[in-house]
Amino acid sequence: MGGKGSRRRKGFTGLEAAIVLTAFVVVAAVFSYVVLNAGFFTTQKSKEVVHTGVEQATSSIELSGDVIGHGWQCTNGTCSPNTADPNNLTVVEFYLTLTAGRHPISMDDLVISYTDKDTHVGNISRSDNLTMPSWNYTIINGDGDALLEFGEKARIRVVLPDYGVTKNQEFTIEVKPAEGATLAITRTAPASIDKTVSLH
């Protein structure tokens, strides 16, 4: 009797061990699946964060060609390209293109600011007229929309505040797209101001 009872207990213990082993395998599989999914999710989020950081840190636009200054006469806050002002640099003109591999940007979403030793304007208004201060754009070889796309150039004209800058005065224009780093353009008005002059 004792031997048979002992054998029954051993058989029961073996079945129990198999169930426990199966349970461990199932739990381990589920745990591994959860851990792997969490790892994949974290990796994906990390890639998104890195990608966003790179997008914000790299510039989506760059200068194309020289920065041109104009000594245009301004009267009552409106500048005329037909009359020269030999004492003040009043309008700055430059061209923008997309950097390699970047997506098109909306010119209507640009923010342009201006700073010199006496003046700071954080967001110059956009206007089709040469009023002071303001800026406007024209897309060269464009397809009629407001997007600056690959192969296109945008001519930007900025009418400086306070009737411009005088001779030998340094100033900075910042162009801030909706995505990407700010493009800072720092130049100095020349010692001799003409209606059109290249700025360095």
b/e sequence 112-125, b meaning 16+ C-beta within 10 Å: bbbbbeeeeeeebe
Whether residue 151 sits in one domain with residue 90: yes
Whether residue 70 sits in one domain with residue 12: no
Give the model's pLDDT for residue 58: 56
**50 pLDDT higher than 70:** no
Kindly report the average pLDDT of the chain as a whole number. Answer: 86
Whether residue 77 sits in one domain with residue 45: no
> Quick one: CA dihedral 137, 139, 145, 148, positive or negative?
negative
Predicted confidence (pLDDT) per residue in 63-114, tens digit:
999 999 999 999 999 999 999 999 999 999 999 999 987 889 999 999 999 9
Whether residue 172 sits in one domain with residue 188: yes
Whether residue 128 sits in one domain with residue 143: yes
Whether residue 169 sits in one domain with residue 97: yes
What backbone torsions phi and psi does residue 129 show, to the nearest 5 degrees? -95, 155
Query: Whole-angstrom Cα distance, residue 82 to residue 63?
Result: 27
Structural domain ending residue among the three candidates 20, 42, 57: 57
Whether residue 152 sits in one domain with residue 80: yes
Whether residue 108 sits in one domain with residue 41: no
**If we measure between CA atoms, which residue out of 117, 105, 191, 199 comes closest to residue 158?**
199
Confidence at 45, pLDDT banded by 50, 70, 90: low
Give the model's pLDDT for residue 179: 84
Give the model's pLDDT for residue 177: 94
Structural domain ending residue among the three candidates 41, 57, 73: 57
Give the model's pLDDT for residue 19: 78
Provide the token pair at 109: 């979403």
Predicted confidence (pLDDT) per residue in 106-157, tens digit:
999 999 999 999 999 999 999 999 999 999 999 998 888 999 999 899 999 9
Please count the structural domains in the chain. 2
Cis peptide before 133 (omega within 30 of 0): yes
Whether residue 90 sits in one domain with residue 48: no
**197 bridge partner residues:** 69
Q: Which residue spans within the chain are E strands per DSSP? A: 61-63, 67-70, 72-75, 78-84, 91-98, 105-106, 111-116, 120-121, 134-140, 147-148, 153-159, 170-176, 183-188, 197-199
Whether residue 46 sits in one domain with residue 5: yes
Look at strands 147-148 and 105-106 and give their pairing: antiparallel
Structural domain ending residue among the three candidates 57, 72, 87: 57
Whether residue 51 sits in one domain with residue 69: no
The CATH number of residue 188's host domain is 2.60.40
Whether residue 122 sits in one domain with residue 100: yes
Provide the token pair at 21: 């082993």
Confidence at 48, pLDDT banded by 50, 70, 90: low
Q: Give the range of the structural domain holding residue 139, as residue numbers without chain letter.
A: 61-199
Query: Whole-angstrom Cα distance, residue 171 to residue 59?
Result: 21
